[in-house]
Each structure stands twice: as C-alpha cells, then as structure tokens.
Amino acid sequence: MKKNLHPDYHPVVFRDANTGAAFLTRSTVTSDRTVTWDDGATYPLVVVDVSSDSHPFWTGTQRLVDTAGRVEKFERRYGKRTR
C-alpha cells in the first residue's frame, strides 16, 4: 500500500447523547474530547445524537410525526393543488 494515503484508523468511543450508552469501536473520525474506558486507556470521544440504543427501529418505540401540520403549512405557503 502507498504510505500517507489512507486515514488513521484507530479506536474511538461513541456515546449516545440521549441515553448515555457508550461503545468502543474503530474509526477514522477525530475528536478533541477524550474519555477513559474500562480498560484504563484513554480514547477519543464522539457524542452522537442517535445510536442503536436510542433509535426507534431498534428500541421498538415509535415517534409521532405531525403530517397534517406539515401539509397545512405547505398549502399555506404554495396554495392548494388543483387538478
């Protein structure tokens, strides 16, 4: 392989902002924040909004989406469609 072509692939801790759940994996992402993991080593910390711990598909919860309000807002802005 060519040198200095591929990004640095290193261990990183990802933490879910909603649940606080964290997992250690490998990634090319960088971060100024660090965290000490269970093994005593310090790793870069990346906080994510959604992970498998809080995503509705994996948790079985469903979010309510206000589609009627979105349609009304669209019709107010652009007018009703006529055929």
pLDDT band at 9 (very low <50, low <70, confident <90, very high): very high
Asked whether residue 61 is assigned to any structural domain, the reply reads: yes
Asked whether residue 3 is assigned to any structural domain, the reply reads: no
Structural domain boundaries, residue 32: 10-78
Asked whether residue 5 is assigned to any structural domain, the reply reads: no
- Structural domains in the chain (count): 1
Residue 35 in this model has a pLDDT that exceeds 90: yes
Average pLDDT over residues 18-26: 90
Asked whether residue 24 is assigned to any structural domain, the reply reads: yes
Asked whether residue 1 is assigned to any structural domain, the reply reads: no
Asked whether residue 2 is assigned to any structural domain, the reply reads: no
Assessment of whether the complete model's pTM goes beyond 0.85 = no
What pLDDT, on a 0 to 100 scale, did the predictor assign at position 52?
Answer: 73
Percent helix, percent strand, percent coil in the chain, to nearest 5: 20, 30, 55
